[in-house]
């Protein structure tokens, strides 16, 4: 097939381009003047000559559109004629004018398929085209085959149609089933076949129902898992975890961070959360179609309350006794004493100069038997609250309760004042037992 571009002016130039094949022209550029006759020939070998086609002209104000005309051998149409001499087919334009400008085509019977992209990619869920782009006149026959099975148009689903002008397949909504190996045989007299490998892809999509970013406030010592919930994407997306919300300076790699693990490809777990884990992170799901990003932020890491250890206290009636509960934690905890399950009002709370240590204190200037019972110190900072009870008894002997340590997030110190009648030591003794529990 050969295309001729004819530009008409005071001095006319005609540019001719030819495809590789059996339709050839002697030269690519011609110069002609208006009012003169112009002749150009194409040589057709190894196939049949069909026609010279004239350019079409779009409509403009006051002027109707001019359709393209196919002039066969021996025909004359509007000052244009075609005459054969052997394998040479000469197009003659009498009295050249500006209206004669445009693209002229010398058409042979063999349709050559050239320039077809052998590998093409379509996106799932979108409109797509398997591009053949082999136009011809008259319209050739396009026969498409996918994975050995002939493709009919329109197909039963109604999604695929054939562009009769170019032979391309137009798909209204691409599906995974459209992937495969296609071949198309184009026939106009004789035929030629193109082979196309079609791959379908789908952009990764992360479920962001919990927000983007996902912000979490965590507690020291606990574990936390972050989920990159990829709900779609084809081929299967690859997932990477990175520090910060932009850039790729520092990757979350479990080999370098012993407290990091990936229980599944799309999950990241931090064990034994520490304050230094606070910060911004993101996961990136990537495939050939593109990527999607989910952002995370550990806004703060709370440190559960810690109550300083205390020793058991033994006191005589009338002695001065202090119950002191000293606590640290982040955020700043509240500290309160309770007596027999009720808030004990006669207590004082103070902080150190830095506000890092909170102390609640009960002072008995002269301890009495009426003060016996269970005293509980509770420290809270919002991470978790825990209560624990201790049985209160009057005993004839001093009994020291074992001090127990816990790892829960709030702490209780329980003081039990036990009355001893003093039968053994012939004196009145008030015993206060301290039990440290969580």
Query: Which residue ranges form the domains of the chain, and what is each CATH number?
Result: 11-110 (2.60.40.10), 113-201 (2.60.40.10), 205-303 (2.60.40.10), 308-394 (2.60.40.10)
DSSP letter at 276 equals: G
Summarize the confidence of residues 42-48 as an average pLDDT: 82
Distance CA 264, CA 13 (A): 69
Look at residue 410 in the predicted model and tell me its pLDDT: 42
Q: Nearest 5°: CA angle at 149, between 143 and 154? A: 60
Residue 208: band (very low, low, confident or very high) from pLDDT cuts 50, 70, 90: very high
Tokens describing residue 418: 């036990």
- What is 79-145 written as a DSSP string? TEEEEEETTEEEEEESS--GGG-EEEEEEESBPP--S--SEEEEETTS-EEE------SS--EEEEE
Look at residue 425 in the predicted model and tell me its pLDDT: 26
Closest CA to 53 of 66, 36, 63, 64: 66
Summarize the confidence of residues 411-425 as an average pLDDT: 40
Are the beta carbons of 144 and 152 closer than 8 angstroms?
A: no
141 pLDDT more than 50: yes
Q: What SS3 state is found at 384? A: coil
Are the beta carbons of 200 and 234 closer than 8 angstroms?
A: yes
Closest CA to 197 of 309, 120, 134: 120
Give me the percent of the chain exceeding a pLDDT of 70.
76
Are the beta carbons of 26 and 114 closer than 8 angstroms?
A: no
Look at residue 107 in the predicted model and tell me its pLDDT: 79
DSSP letter at 275 equals: G
Distance CA 295, CA 211 (A): 9
Q: 275 phi and psi, to 5 degrees?
A: -55, -35
Closest CA to 402 of 309, 286, 320: 309
What dihedral angle (degrees, nearest 10) is formed by the CA atoms of 132, 133, 135, 141? Answer: 20
Sheet with 80-85, strands from edge to edge, namely 23-24, 38-44, 88-93, 80-85, 76-77
More confident residue, 78 or 417: 78
Residue 177: band (very low, low, confident or very high) from pLDDT cuts 50, 70, 90: very high
Give residue-wise pLDDT tens across range 344-389.
999 999 998 777 789 999 999 998 888 888 888 888 887 655 333 3
Give residue-wise pLDDT tens across range 185-194.
988 766 788 8
The pTM of the full predicted model, rounded to 2 decimals, is: 0.57
More confident residue, 12 or 228: 228
């Amino acid at each position: 097939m050969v295309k001729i571009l004819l530009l008409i002016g005071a001095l006319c130039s005609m540019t001719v381009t030819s495809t590789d094949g059996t339709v050839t022209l002697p030269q690519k550029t011609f110069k002609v003047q208006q009012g003169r006759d112009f002749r150009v020939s194409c040589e057709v070998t190894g196939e049949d000559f069909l026609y010279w086609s004239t350019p079409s002209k779009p409509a403009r104000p006051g002027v109707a559109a001019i359709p393209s005309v196919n002039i066969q051998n021996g025909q004359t149409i509007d000052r244009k004629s075609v005459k054969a001499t052997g394998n040479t087919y000469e197009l003659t334009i009498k009295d050249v004018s500006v209206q004669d400008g445009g693209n002229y085509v010398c058409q042979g019977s063999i349709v050559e398929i050239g320039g077809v992209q052998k590998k093409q990619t379509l996106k799932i869920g979108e409109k797509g085209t398997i591009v053949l782009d082999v136009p011809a006149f008259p319209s050739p026959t396009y026969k498409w085959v996918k994975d050995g099975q002939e493709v009919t148009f329109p197909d039963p689903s109604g999604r695929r149609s054939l562009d009769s002008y170019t032979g391309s397949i137009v798909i209204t909504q691409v599906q995974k089933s459209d992937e495969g190996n296609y071949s198309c045989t184009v026939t106009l007299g004789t035929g030629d076949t193109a082979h196309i490998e079609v791959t379908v892809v789908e952009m990764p999509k992360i479920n962001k129902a919990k927000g983007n970013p996902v912000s979490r406030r965590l507690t020291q010592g606990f574990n936390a898992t972050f989920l990159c919930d990829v709900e779609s994407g084809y081929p299967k997306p690859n997932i990477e975890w990175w520090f910060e919300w932009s850039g790729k300076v520092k990757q979350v790699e479990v080999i370098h961070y012993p407290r990091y693990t990936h229980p599944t490809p799309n999950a990241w777990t931090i064990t034994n959360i520490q304050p230094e884990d606070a910060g911004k992170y993101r996961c990136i799901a990537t495939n050939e179609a593109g990527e999607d990003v989910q952002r995370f932020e550990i806004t703060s890491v709370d440190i559960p309350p810690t109550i300083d250890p205390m020793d058991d206290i033994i006191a005589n009636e009338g002695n001065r006794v202090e119950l002191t509960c000293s606590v640290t934690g982040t955020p700043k905890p509240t500290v309160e004493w309770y007596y027999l399950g009720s808030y004990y009002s006669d207590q004082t709370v103070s902080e150190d100069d830095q506000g890092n240590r909170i102390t609640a204190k009960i002072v008995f200037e002269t301890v009495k038997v009426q003060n016996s019972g269970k005293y509980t110190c509770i420290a809270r900072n919002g991470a978790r609250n825990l209560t624990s009870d201790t049985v209160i008894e009057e005993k004839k002997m001093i009994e020291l309760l074992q001090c127990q340590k816990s790892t829960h997030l709030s702490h209780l110190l329980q003081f039990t004042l036990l009355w001893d009648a003093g039968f053994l030591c012939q004196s009145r003794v008030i015993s206060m037992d301290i039990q440290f529990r969580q």
